[in-house]
Amino acid sequence: MADKDEEMVVTPWEVRGKIDYDRLIELFGTQRIDQRLRERIYKAAGEKHFLLERGLFFSHRDLDWLLDEYAKGHPFFIYTGRGPSGQVHIGHLIPWMFTKWLKDRFKTRLYFQLTNDEKFFFEECMTIEEVRHYTYENSLDLLALGFEPETTFLIDDIKHIDLLYELGVQVAKKVTFSTAKAVYGFENSMNIGGIWYPALQAVPAFLHSWIVGKNVPCLIPCAIDQDPHWRVTRDVADKLGYYKPASIQNKFVPGLGEGGKMSSSDPMSAIFTTDKPKLARKKVMNAFTGGRATAEEQRRLGANPDVCSVFKYYSFIFMPDDRELADIDQKCRSGAILCGECKQILAPRMVEFLERHQAAREEMKDRVDEFSAARLRDEVRR
Amino acid sequence: MADKDEEMVVTPWEVRGKIDYDRLIELFGTQRIDQRLRERIYKAAGEKHFLLERGLFFSHRDLDWLLDEYAKGHPFFIYTGRGPSGQVHIGHLIPWMFTKWLKDRFKTRLYFQLTNDEKFFFEECMTIEEVRHYTYENSLDLLALGFEPETTFLIDDIKHIDLLYELGVQVAKKVTFSTAKAVYGFENSMNIGGIWYPALQAVPAFLHSWIVGKNVPCLIPCAIDQDPHWRVTRDVADKLGYYKPASIQNKFVPGLGEGGKMSSSDPMSAIFTTDKPKLARKKVMNAFTGGRATAEEQRRLGANPDVCSVFKYYSFIFMPDDRELADIDQKCRSGAILCGECKQILAPRMVEFLERHQAAREEMKDRVDEFSAARLRDEVRR
């Protein structure tokens, strides 16, 4: 759980302090997603999306340009990814579900990078075997969301390095240690793998263009903490003659405790996709809420959904319907519902979701290879 | 040409100043090859070698240990390589010919790394296409020396990165930027590819052991300027549980001008393997010698073969026969032969060597793939 009084630090490898998203937009130099842009996305997509509507995706780079290109008949591809250092929790799935919506609505390819080399470099005690294990485990979670193999390519950094290295060396040559130090805060104690790694995270933004031999726009849906990577990637794009990737950025998905983002390192703060339903229910029942000290007080004064982790689950995944969400919000603020009752609404939805997800996940166990980026080798050779 | 008064600087990427080999042994912490060790090598190899006898290979690490292991019936493999940033000159061939002798006498495998990523990172203006071109061109020169495909594996860093990366990330995790800065003199302006690269140069020292799944000793014949790499490699070997590679190190092969090493960047200082015989003859006739100002003076006082580039060609390649070399040495010192006459002995040998080499090189043009490290993929899978 983040200490609210601590200074805000947001890098791809560390998020702490009280997060001020307005200041992040300013610091990182991204753009806010405003109502005009939201409408533009909805129009192009053919429908609204509640995660845009509710502000989880709040910031972007070059989305207008991307939609201009799309309107001119120039399709884009989507690139996102995951550092496989542990099991996936519900918070990870939310941006992936949004990614799937984008992919389906805009009929794009998805390049999904599993940065096992990164996790190996940055996590002191992590072994190759462990990152490999989580690469597989995390792939199951992504694929359980229903992506199509024809247009979905899982890039395993270590396994598919042959597809990435030639572009990687070109990126790396354009980035000095001074730049990496300034952008990522690297110290001299950083290992030389960690210093090299940002080059590889840039690669999938150019990979499709490199494969097809012409510039194709790229959209990166991701959490705002990854933005330093895209600043470097965009800078290098210019130098290598590729389009700068556009991005659409989300806030951190809150955990079940007070404040902070859902974190794999605190097991009770997050519901993992592999949690037994009984444990998930228990975590829901223990979740931090905006309730009052006593039931009597809450009936009288109402509670505060703005700080409630249960309410955030509703907002970002379990109540896409605006009327239903407004209704629970009103009941909460008015004291018409107590936190225990409210959690009894969330718990069965969580359990049902997990059961469905776990069944889908199970089905993908023999099918991961169908999504392998290894298939791109044939496209490169053509 | 090196400035003799300049401070000595020897790194894998820069050699300047007057080279003091005794001081290098001390600075780098290597061992001198003495008569006892020479005899031991000859005994194990079954014959003498003039490049050891004449001190071109003068320094080593762990050769006694390697020979102990060999005597116990534990064979070793050989690893060396080349940074393909230009055409190969005669000076490059000399250690490769010695490598071939070692390989033949000790019946080993050879892993030969073509570090095209390194050259791309370290040479500002070099393109991927150029390093790829020289990778192929330089391979022809190596193979023209008569290596057998069954036991010779050409590793093209970019093309065969899939064979190297998993070991590379393990090495890289054990080397901090501080270490790289101290060992290689990297500045903050170094690009992040160049910083990463030393990890990849370490990999072939472990590759064979990794492939066969047990520790196998490794011998690296190389020029002394590469020693910083082996210091890092040996340090990491311990941490990863591999044997520290042994090495046998040569002095810089002198150029045709005064002092310095033969350099690809000064075309007249070196005879390239692709030089037309006529040009090679011209270069020989223009070579720097230890002669006197006038013929009369030289007849009277004799010349100095110790500083003569023609004499070095005799020593290191064209006069393996000790009596012949002693004879020319005596004639030179006594004034019995003038430099022009002496060059007339070298020129036809050089031309004949080049013609033979160029014919062999031509024959290898369709055969490079037979030597590809790509074949190791099958061994890795087994």
Tens digits of residue pLDDT in B292-308:
999 999 999 999 999 99
Q: Using CB atoms, which residue from B117, B169, B195 is nearest to A121?
A: B169
In chain B, where are the structural domains located?
20-256, 267-363
Is A165 in CB contact (< 8 Å) with chain B? yes
Question: Cβ contact (<8 Å) for B175 and A198?
Answer: no
Identify the CATH assignment for A9-256 out of 3.90.550.10, 3.40.50.720, 3.40.50.620, 3.40.30.10. 3.40.50.620
CA nearest neighbour of B119 among B129, B111, B131: B131
**B238-272: per-residue pLDDT in tens?**
999 999 999 999 998 866 666 645 555 666 778 99
* DSSP-assigned beta bridge partners for residue A111: A79, A153
**B93-117: per-residue pLDDT in tens?**
999 999 999 999 999 999 999 999 9
List CB contacts of B224: < 8 A, sequence separation 6 or more. B10, B21, B24, B28, B30, B59, B249, B250, B251, B252
Q: What is the mean pLDDT of residues A67-88?
A: 97
Q: Give contacts of A199 with chain B, Cβ < 8 Å.
A: 192-193
Neighbours of A239 (CB within 10 A): 12
CB A137 within 8 A of CB A365: no
The predicted pLDDT at position B268 comes to 73
Q: How confident is the model at residue B7 (pLDDT cuts 50, 70, 90)?
A: confident
Which of A269 and B331 is assigned the larger pLDDT?
A: B331
Q: What is the ipTM of this complex?
A: 0.94
The percentage of chain A sitting over the pLDDT mark of 70, rounded to a whole number, equals: 95
The predicted pLDDT at position B380 comes to 85
The predicted pLDDT at position B263 comes to 59
Of A104-108, B167-171, B268-272, minimum mean pLDDT range: B268-272
Is A117 in CB contact (< 8 Å) with chain B? yes
Amino acid at A25: I
The predicted pLDDT at position A2 comes to 46
Q: Using CB atoms, which residue from B173, B188, B193 is nearest to A169?
A: B193
> Does residue A209 have a pLDDT over 80?
yes
CA distances from B323 to B52, B283, B329 (A): 16, 26, 10
Please state the three-class secondary structure of B288-309 as a single string: CCCCCCCHHHHHHHCCCHHHCH
Question: Cβ contact (<8 Å) for A120 and B199?
Answer: no
Q: Give contacts of A170 with chain B, Cβ < 8 Å.
A: 128
Q: Give contacts of B189 with chain A, Cβ < 8 Å.
A: 176-178
**A277-312: per-residue pLDDT in tens?**
999 999 999 999 999 999 999 999 999 999 999 999
The token duo for B316 is 């290191």
Q: What is the mean pLDDT of residues B53-64?
A: 97
What is chain A's mean pLDDT, rounded? 94
Question: Cβ contact (<8 Å) for B161 and A165?
Answer: yes
> Does residue A317 have a pLDDT over 80?
yes
Q: How confident is the model at residue B5 (pLDDT cuts 50, 70, 90)?
A: low
Q: What is the mean pLDDT of residues A154-169?
A: 98
Question: Cβ contact (<8 Å) for B193 and A199?
Answer: yes
The predicted pLDDT at position B256 comes to 64
Is B161 in CB contact (< 8 Å) with chain A? yes
The predicted pLDDT at position A172 comes to 98
Is A285 in CB contact (< 8 Å) with chain B? no
What is chain B's mean pLDDT, rounded? 94
Class of domain B20-256: alpha beta
- Work out how many CB contacts closer than 8 A connect A with B: 108
The token duo for B228 is 């910083």
CB B60 within 8 A of CB B31: yes
Is A345 in CB contact (< 8 Å) with chain B? no
The predicted pLDDT at position B280 comes to 95
Question: Cβ contact (<8 Å) for A117 and B165?
Answer: yes
The CATH code of domain A267-363 reads 1.10.240.10
CB A338 within 8 A of CB A124: no
Is B165 in CB contact (< 8 Å) with chain A? yes
Q: Give contacts of A158 with chain B, Cβ < 8 Å.
A: 165-166, 169
Q: Residue A126 and residue A65: Cα distance in Å, rounded?
A: 40
**B333-348: per-residue pLDDT in tens?**
999 999 999 999 999 9
**A259-286: per-residue pLDDT in tens?**
645 555 666 778 999 999 999 999 999 9
> Does residue B2 have a pLDDT over 60?
no
Is A276 in CB contact (< 8 Å) with chain B? no
The predicted pLDDT at position A1 comes to 42
Q: Give contacts of A189 with chain B, Cβ < 8 Å.
A: 176-178
Is B359 in CB contact (< 8 Å) with chain A? no
